[in-house]
């Protein structure tokens, strides 16, 4: 009797919408893409697409409705503060077709946070308790104002260390697949010289991706090749084969990269 082939592992995907005029103007350098991509990888989720949009309701609505439907998860960063130009909550509520409401738990958290520091919960600060109706909260241990979860959408702060804290609070709570593993080989070679070799090696290992990252250093041209797969044995086998085929054409590969 023939044993049926096992089904391919479920791949979970996410998209990210970075919201803010300050990002598009170049005034603020975004740091959240890298940290969210890294965190998602550990959760077994692949970041497939990133969009950067202005503080514009129509742009946010279009991005949210497009990306939330074609990915398992959608993350947004930015635009959930206390000022008039923080319109992310309103725009996402419009995208979802639900009203904006004050979340009672968020209000209580903010009240305790500010009164505990000898201040008060002003109307401006209360804006940070506004959520699309039906939302849950994402804890924020740094500044009190919580993040927001609605279905498969995770609405997070734009400040990187606050985003990092929210990601930490979400760790282990989101379903993912097998994490992506990798191995790196470095070689003093122009990537165009071995492009066909890389493509053939990748094709020989289903489920593997080989990324090529060229550099110019010490007056020489080189490249690092990153082998990625969810299967450790496959990464090792592909790495060994790529090392051998590079050696066969006269290039010695350095494990771990150059």
For the question of whether the overall pTM of this predicted structure is more than 0.85, the answer is no
The residue ranges of DSSP E strands in 141-208, in sequence order, are: 147-150, 153-156, 181-187
pLDDT the model gives residue 49: 96
* pLDDT tens figures, 189-240: 999 999 999 999 999 998 899 999 999 988 889 999 999 888 899 999 999 9
The yes-or-no verdict on residue 124 having pLDDT over 50 is yes
* pLDDT tens figures, 81-106: 999 889 999 999 999 999 999 999 99
* pLDDT tens figures, 28-75: 999 999 999 999 988 989 999 999 999 999 999 999 999 999 999 999
* pLDDT tens figures, 156-178: 999 999 999 999 999 989 999 87
Q: Are 173 and 44 in contact (CB under 8 A)?
A: no
Q: Give, in order, the Cα–Cα distances in Å from 67 to each of 16, 30, 74, 107.
A: 8, 20, 7, 30
> Which helix (H) or strand (E) is 52 found in, with range?
strand 45-53
Task: Choose among 45, 25, 27: nearest CA to 36.
Answer: 45
pLDDT the model gives residue 3: 41
Return all residues near 77 (Cβ < 8 A) that are at least 6 apart: 16, 17, 18, 19, 32, 36, 156, 157, 158, 163
The yes-or-no verdict on residue 256 having pLDDT over 60 is yes
pLDDT the model gives residue 5: 45
pLDDT the model gives residue 8: 56
The superfamily in CATH containing domain 181-255 is ACT domain (3.30.70.260)
pLDDT the model gives residue 9: 65
Query: Which residue has tokens 């609070």?
Result: 169
Mean pLDDT of the chain: 92
Where along the chain do its domains lie?
Answer: 12-170, 181-255
How large is the angle between the packed helices 160-170 and 32-43, nearest 10 degrees? Answer: 10
For the domain covering 12-170, report its CATH number.
Answer: 3.40.980.10
pLDDT the model gives residue 185: 94
Sequential DSSP letters for 95-108: HHT--EEE-HHHHH
Q: Are 60 and 53 in contact (CB under 8 A)?
A: yes
């Amino acid at each position: 009797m023939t044993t049926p082939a096992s089904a391919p592992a479920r791949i979970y995907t996410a998209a990210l919408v970075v919201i803010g005029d300050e990002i598009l103007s170049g005034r603020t350098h975004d740091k959240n893409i890298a940290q969210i991509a890294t965190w998602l990888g550990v959760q077994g989720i692949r970041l497939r697409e990133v969009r950067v949009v202005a503080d514009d309701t129509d742009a946010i609505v279009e991005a949210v409705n497009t990306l939330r439907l074609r990915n398992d998860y959608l993350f947004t960063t930015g635009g959930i503060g206390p000022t008039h130009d923080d319109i992310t909550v309103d725009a996402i509520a419009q995208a979802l077709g639900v009203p904006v409401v004050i979340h009672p738990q968020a209000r209580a958290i903010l009240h305790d946070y500010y009164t505990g520091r000898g201040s008060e919960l002003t109307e401006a600060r209360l804006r940070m308790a506004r959520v699309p109706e039906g939302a849950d909260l994402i804890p924020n241990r740094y500044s009190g104002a919580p993040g927001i979860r609605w279905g498969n959408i995770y609405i997070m702060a734009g400040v990187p260390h606050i985003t990092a804290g929210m990601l930490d609070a979400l760790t282990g709570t989101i379903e993912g697949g097998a994490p992506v593993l990798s191995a790196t080989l470095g070689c003093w070679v122009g990537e165009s010289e071995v492009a066909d070799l890389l493509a053939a090696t990748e094709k020989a290992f289903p489920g593997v991706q080989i990324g090529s990252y060229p550099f110019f250093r010490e007056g020489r041209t080189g490249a690092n090749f990153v082998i990625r797969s969810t299967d450790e044995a496959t990464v090792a086998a592909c790495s060994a084969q790529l090392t051998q085929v590079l050696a066969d054409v006269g290039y010695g590969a350095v494990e771990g990269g150059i």
